[in-house]
Every structure is written in structure tokens, then in C-alpha cells.
Amino acid sequence: MFTGLIQALGTIRRREARAGGVRFEIESATPFEDVELGESIAVDGACLTVVSFSGARFEIDASPETLAKTTLGARREGHLVHLERAMRVGDRLGGHIVLGHVDGVGKLMARRVEGDYTFLTYEAPAEVLPYLVPKGSIAIDGVSLTVNALTDPRFEIAIIPHTSAHTHLTRKGVGEGVNLEADVLAKHVGRLLEAWRDTTSGGALTREFLEKHGY
């Protein structure tokens, strides 16, 4: 579990194809301390497992599914990625609850600058769009952000100077893809409503029905 507060920018130093997947070697601009093999690090919002670690560099494996469902399949040597280690119990939740499970790939559609702020407009895929609400939370390449405006299928967010300086969001070109993770609370509410709609023709929403569907 993560908070969407990026701890470091990483640079992909090596990309190696392995049995349908890819092993990435990533160098962190801010070296992490006490990294353990097997721990989780979110790379551009995708939760991945550390398989090797030495100094400021670590290696992770991306499966075929990860490569197909995220932007990591298009990442090459020299590309920047956002890094966040899994949160500890008791840490401040400065962003929002981020699981590191990418729901879909969106696309940067427009950029405008007003003073010190950059406004970015993205297009969301169908699997993410139902969970977007004005002033709600969205993770973009792992960064916890607030939806400023929503005009289906597009939404706009504002980047403050600090976020611009410490992430790669404002460095991406129009047309580039981004990993999107919808707010997990919104997804649970959506699933609950879906279950309720399934009962409208056959009876009331009951405790037994909820338990059967995992609630």
C-alpha cells in the first residue's frame, strides 16, 4: 500500500528481456536505505518487487501482464520513473490510499501554464472514468492528485511548483501515456452499487447477498 507521495525520481539504467517479461535496473536519485529483497516499490504507480539491490540501484521484474496493462512496456533506458516505497503502519497518509494496481492507461491531451502552475488535461479509459469525480483523488503515474474538473472522458489536474520539480509529469509530451489508478474507495462503492442493481429485479439487498459477493 502507498500514499501517492513520490519519494524519488529514478532513471532506468538497464532493460533486459526475460521469458516474456522485462527486468529493469533502476537508479534512484535519492538512494533508499535498508531496502530488503522482496519488498514492494511503486514504479510509476505500479507495485513491483525488488529482486536485487545495491547502493542507489535496484532491479525489478515486470511480468507480461504488467507490460501490457501499464506504460512500463514502453519504458526504455534513460527514461525517468516515479519511485515510492510501501508505507509503514503508522505513517502519515499525506496523499490517499494507493494500492499500486494500475486500472488503465490514460493519455495527456493538453497542457497550459498559468503563473507558477501547470494545468494538465488527460483522457481516461472506460475502466477508470466511472470513478472520477470533481475534487476526488486519482493516482497518475503513482502521484496522488486532485481532479480539478471533469468533462467526460477528460479530466484536468493542477500541478504546483513542488510537484513539477519533483516528478516527471510536466516533462511528458502531449499524447504520451500515463498509468491511472482510481480511488479504491470509489471502486468499492461502485461494486456495491453494481451488486444492488443486480438485485433490483429479484429482491432486496440482503446481508447474505453482500457476504456472497465479498462485502
pLDDT at position 186: 84
pLDDT at position 199: 57
Domain residue ranges of the chain, discontinuous segments joined by +: 8-85, 104-186, 187-215
pLDDT in tens, 64-80: 999 999 999 999 999 99
Higher pLDDT, 52 or 202: 52
Asked if the domains 8-85 and 104-186 are classified in one and the same CATH topology, the answer is yes
**Span 181-200, mean pLDDT?**
76
**Span 169-173, mean pLDDT?**
97
pLDDT in tens, 126-166: 999 999 999 999 999 999 999 999 999 999 999 999 999 99
Helix or strand holding residue 161 (H, E)? helix 161-166
Residue 205 above 90 pLDDT?
no
pLDDT in tens, 98-134: 999 999 999 999 999 999 999 999 999 999 999 999 9
Domain spanning 104-186, CATH architecture: Beta Barrel (2.40)
**Span 183-202, mean pLDDT?**
72
Residue burial 78-90, b: 16+ Cβ < 10 Å; e: rest: ebbbbbbbebeee
What is each CA distance from 63 to 24, 93, 122, 139, 166, in whole angstroms? 11, 29, 26, 21, 28
Is-above-0.75 flag for pTM?
yes
> Are residues 97 and 1 in contact, defined by beta-carbon separation less than 8 angstroms?
yes
pLDDT at position 88: 86
Per-position DSSP letters for 80-97, written without gaps between them? EEEEEEPPPTT----S--
Q: Which residue has the cell 501515456?
A: 177
pLDDT at position 93: 85
pLDDT at position 145: 97
Residue 169 has phi, psi (to 5 degrees) of -60, -40
pLDDT in tens, 16-41: 999 889 999 999 998 888 888 999 99
Q: Which residues, listed in sequence order, are joined to residue 107 by a DSSP beta bridge?
A: 123, 177
| Fold adopted by 8-85 | Elongation Factor Tu (Ef-tu); domain 3 (2.40.30)
pLDDT at position 197: 65
